[in-house]
Amino acid sequence: GAVRVVVRTLCLAALLGALGAGGTELTLELPDSAQRCFHQEMESGIKFTLDYQVISGGHYDVDCYVEDPNGKTIYQETKKQYDSFSHHTEVKGVHTFCFSNEFSTFSHKIVYFDFQVGDEPPILPDMNNRVTALTQMESACVTIHEMLNAVIDSQTHYRLREAQDRSRAEELNGRVSYWSVGETLILFMVSIGQVMLLKSFFTEKRPSSGGAGT
């Protein structure tokens, strides 16, 4: 009855609050020979996770590195299409993570990244300190929460795949269009050349005038 409706409402609110906590998603444009950095201040002993993927541009690769507040490089990869990195901070301060396209002189890149800070909070109050077993409704909330997380991850994956495939399709379409225009111009020039050549075969040559009169 009404109690069950209230419990379901609270459960849904807890799920939505947990899904939106502690995360940043961003899609950025990275011009050729450029680098973009982001900064996040964190306490010591905090877990963070960085997931990124190149959606379009060049060979779909990018350089990425992460530095702690002391300038120590804790992660560095070159020409990666996608990767995931998790780490527990050792010192308090501003951590920096950068994406670099400096190795490319003409290819613009579109990069997606997801930056998560801290552990996910419990979806139910005092869930970590419970000494009794979860009720059937609480177990259902936990199960639904895990399924929603899986759905969100799947949607993100397919959204990135769709964007990457669309970029490749547009690039291929552009190449086909340019090739078609080039073929048309070549055929047009060959046709003009053939017409001029045939015309030269059927053109009468006028005889040159004779000697001077006496």
What are 177-213's pLDDT values in tens digits? Answer: 999 999 999 999 998 988 888 888 777 665 555 555 5
Closest CA to 138 of 11, 17, 13: 11
Beta carbons of 62 and 77 less than 8 angstroms apart: no
Beta carbons of 52 and 160 less than 8 angstroms apart: no
How many other β-carbons are positioned within 10 Å of the β-carbon of residue 58? 16
Mean pLDDT lowest for which of 51-60, 86-95, 117-126, 163-172?
117-126
pLDDT category of residue 214 using cuts at 50, 70 and 90:
very low
pLDDT category of residue 149 using cuts at 50, 70 and 90:
confident
Q: Using the 8-state DSSP alphabet, how is residue 132 labeled?
A: S
Higher pLDDT, 82 or 122: 82
What are 99-132's pLDDT values in tens digits? Answer: 999 998 888 898 999 898 876 666 666 655 655 6
| Prediction pTM value | 0.60
pLDDT above 50: residue 160: yes
Beta carbons of 96 and 47 less than 8 angstroms apart: no
Where do the structural domains in the chain lie, given as residue ranges? 24-119, 142-197
Residue 53, C-beta contacts closer than 8 angstroms, at least 6 positions apart? 81, 82, 111, 112, 113, 160, 164
Pick the CATH number of 24-119 from 2.60.120.680, 1.25.40.10, 2.60.120.380, 1.20.58.1290: 2.60.120.680
Q: For residues 164 and 168, what is the distance between their CA atoms, to the nearest angstrom?
A: 6
Which helix (H) or strand (E) segment holds residue 17: the answer is helix 2-19
pLDDT category of residue 10 using cuts at 50, 70 and 90:
very low
pLDDT above 60: residue 28: yes
Percent of the chain with pLDDT over 70: 77
User: In terms of C-beta density within 10 A (0-12 exposed, 13-18 middle, 19 or more buried), how is residue 183 classed?
Assistant: exposed
Q: Is the dihedral of CA 122, 124, 130, 134 positive or negative?
A: negative
- Residue 93, by phi and psi: left (phi above 0), alpha (psi -120 to 50) or beta? left
